[in-house]
Chains A and B, each alone.
Chain A
Amino acid sequence: MNRLITKLAGFNMKNPVIAASGTFGYGHDYEQYYDPSILGGISSKGLTLNPKPGNKGIRLWETPSGLLNSIGLENPGIRAFAREVYKMSEIDTMVIVNLGGDNLEEYIEGASILNDSPIDMIELNISCPNVKAGGMAFGMQCDSAALITREIKKVTKHPLMVKLSPNAPNVADVGVACAESGADALSLVNTFQGMAIDIKTKKAVFENTYAGLSGPAIKPIALRMVHQTVKAVSIPVVGLGGISSWQDALEFIMAGATAVQIGTGNFPNPNLGKEIVRGLQKYCEKNGIINIDEIRGII
């Protein structure tokens, strides 16, 4: 008996484990390790209306228990992706497209094009710290986050999940603003803005100076933010940030997350998605939990 069935914005997921955007390509890259359809959902690499080459220079920098990245939303553009979307939608799971943009118009046009795609949800990326225009800017304040959520809701026929930035002064407030503007779900957190300096060259490591920090180092802060946001809104919250084991995933669920996303954890352990699904199922069996919902939000 599957004890992990989870409802998210009207979709019945097999389990609450979603591969996070930017860490799982378009769903097929880890197939040599496991069948991606065992996951509850997959969020695509961030897509923008027009193709983006991404950032130059160093894109990755390891930190204690963490990873700074500055990919810069490299992607082939939504139109090129539309031809490939069928490949992703062939995976029997909740298919989520992560949508980014340089400005409001681009986001709107991108969302409109996606209306013709056989996807299950849009994850609105208003939290990427690695692009000069757009990106995180919309996610830093309540009014801009509310505006973009409202405008996308007007054009999209897909359920809308808004991905929040932990760099906002108060992420729970931004979550409330998105919920009031029609978001069907929230996901948090995207990466924390960070920095590294190469003392040999006496220069910032990244061409953009700042980059996004992910990995186990951010987990306690992400968990706290998810907990606070869950308490502040009545729409589902998908938690992510440094999850590297089924125990981590369970913490987020106990904090009230409807589902979790696994991102950086896929890199050191390409079997992580499979292991978390199995670990959660076994935990429920051992503890006599019929559905994981019974322990969701108990904190």
Chain B
Amino acid sequence: MAVILENRDLGDSMFLMITDHGVDSAPGQFYMVRGWDKYPLLSRPISIFDSDGKTTKFLYRVVGEGTDLLSKLKPGDEVQLQGPYGNGFPEIKGNRIALVGGGIGTAPLYLAAKEIKRKNPEKELVLYLGFENSSHAQELFEDIEADARFKIGGYITDIIDFKSHDAVLTCGPEAMMKAVFHEAKDICGEIYVSMEKRMACGVGACLGCTCETKAGNRRTCKDGPVFEGSEVFFE
């Protein structure tokens, strides 16, 4: 069990939960999070916002019963974290990387950007982060050594010049990721998308989170959640 150190209301239904869970994880991975005993039945798949060997942080949005319960937990309360699960973002070869997030899909891009900068400080990163409404969530991205550009409302692709990038990591609503992929596919050599699906087990056993890809069905929880854009948006 992990202990909650902070569970901050960021506005617009978004929260930042900081736990004392010290297990290292890769950017793009997630935990099955459970802040209750038996009910609701299933734990909730929540991507890792940050992990520094001492704490694990989650940026999440209240969308249903489970996340509502999570939002009501207080410092000192315990949560069960199963994971880290999933493949996470791979090493990026490109040097001018765009990280494109929409809404709560911005969450995994923080650790992704941080890790790229840690390993390859010379790489240029631009975060393009779209939210429906402004909130304190934006402030969370301000301490990354990268140019963070925000778009409140409208299409995130309106503020991206893909020609100035050679790689793209994206996470957000599927329609947004699809638009990003199609605008970037002839320009950027590497495009990775992080998919979101309903999940029950998180370990690849139940096949509830299947994602159709060019190479056939893949399990979002185990084979993903990060896929090459061309694998997912092939039609």
A contacts, CB < 8 Å to B? 22-25, 29-30, 32, 45, 53-54, 56, 58-62, 64-67, 69, 71, 74, 215-216, 244, 264, 266-268, 270
Name the contact of B203 in the complex, choosing from A29, A54, A56, A264 (C-beta under 8 A): A29
Q: Does B205 contact A (CB under 8 A)?
A: yes
Cross-chain contact B203 with A62 (CB below 8 angstroms): no
Interface stretch among B12-20, B162-170, B193-201?
B193-201
Cross-chain contact B207 with A54 (CB below 8 angstroms): yes
Q: Does B119 contact A (CB under 8 A)?
A: no
Cross-chain contact A69 with B208 (CB below 8 angstroms): yes
Please, how many angstroms separate the alpha-carbon atoms of A103 and B100 in the complex?
48
Q: Given contacts A59-B208, A71-B206, A216-B41, are A23 and B217 in contact (CB under 8 A)? A: no
Please, how many angstroms separate the alpha-carbon atoms of A266 and B199 in the complex?
13
Please, how many angstroms separate the alpha-carbon atoms of A268 and B39 in the complex?
10
Q: Does B29 contact A (CB under 8 A)?
A: no
Cross-chain contact B201 with A215 (CB below 8 angstroms): no
Q: Given contacts A244-B38, A267-B42, are A60 and B203 in contact (CB under 8 A)? A: no
Query: Taking the nearest CB of chain B, how far is it from the CB of A222, in angstroms?
Result: 16
Cross-chain contact B210 with A25 (CB below 8 angstroms): no
SS of B interface (majority): loop
Q: Interface size class for chain B?
A: 20 to 34
Q: Nearest A residue to B204 by beta-carbon distance?
A: A29
Q: Given contacts A71-B208, A270-B82, are A65 and B201 in contact (CB under 8 A)? A: no
Please, how many angstroms separate the alpha-carbon atoms of A190 and B29 in the complex?
33
Q: Does B61 contact A (CB under 8 A)?
A: no
Q: Nearest A residue to B208 by beta-carbon distance?
A: A60
Cross-chain contact A268 with B205 (CB below 8 angstroms): no
Please, how many angstroms separate the alpha-carbon atoms of A47 and B205 in the complex?
14
Name the contact of B201 in the complex, choosing from A29, A53, A59, A66 (C-beta under 8 A): A29
| Number of cross-chain contacts by CB at 8 Å | 83
Cross-chain contact A22 with B206 (CB below 8 angstroms): yes
Q: Does B75 contact A (CB under 8 A)?
A: no
Q: Does B57 contact A (CB under 8 A)?
A: no
Could you list 16 examples of A-B contacts with CB < 8 Å? A22-B207, A25-B204, A25-B205, A29-B201, A29-B222, A59-B198, A59-B208, A59-B209, A60-B198, A61-B198, A62-B42, A71-B207, A71-B210, A267-B200, A270-B82, A270-B201
Task: Report A-chain residues with C-beta under 8 Å of the C-beta of B203.
Answer: 25, 29-30, 32, 270
Task: Report A-chain residues with C-beta under 8 Å of the C-beta of B204.
Answer: 25, 29
In the complex, besides A54-B210, A268-B34, A270-B203, 17 extra interface pairs with C-beta distance below 8 angstroms are A25-B205, A29-B201, A45-B207, A58-B198, A60-B198, A60-B200, A60-B206, A65-B38, A66-B41, A67-B42, A71-B210, A74-B207, A215-B41, A216-B41, A266-B205, A268-B38, A268-B42
Task: Report A-chain residues with C-beta under 8 Å of the C-beta of B38.
Answer: 65, 216, 244, 268
Please, how many angstroms separate the alpha-carbon atoms of A32 and B221 in the complex?
15
Q: Nearest A residue to B199 by beta-carbon distance?
A: A60
Q: Does B40 contact A (CB under 8 A)?
A: yes
Task: Report B-chain residues with C-beta under 8 Å of the C-beta of A58.
Answer: 198
Cross-chain contact A67 with B217 (CB below 8 angstroms): no
Q: Nearest B residue to A215 by beta-carbon distance?
A: B41
Q: Does B47 contact A (CB under 8 A)?
A: no
Convert B179-223 into 0s and 1s, putting 1 for each residue whose CB lies closer than 8 angstroms to a CB of A. 000000000000000000011111111111110100011000010
Task: Report A-chain residues with C-beta under 8 Å of the C-beta of B217.
Answer: 53-54, 74
Q: Nearest B residue to A244 by beta-carbon distance?
A: B38
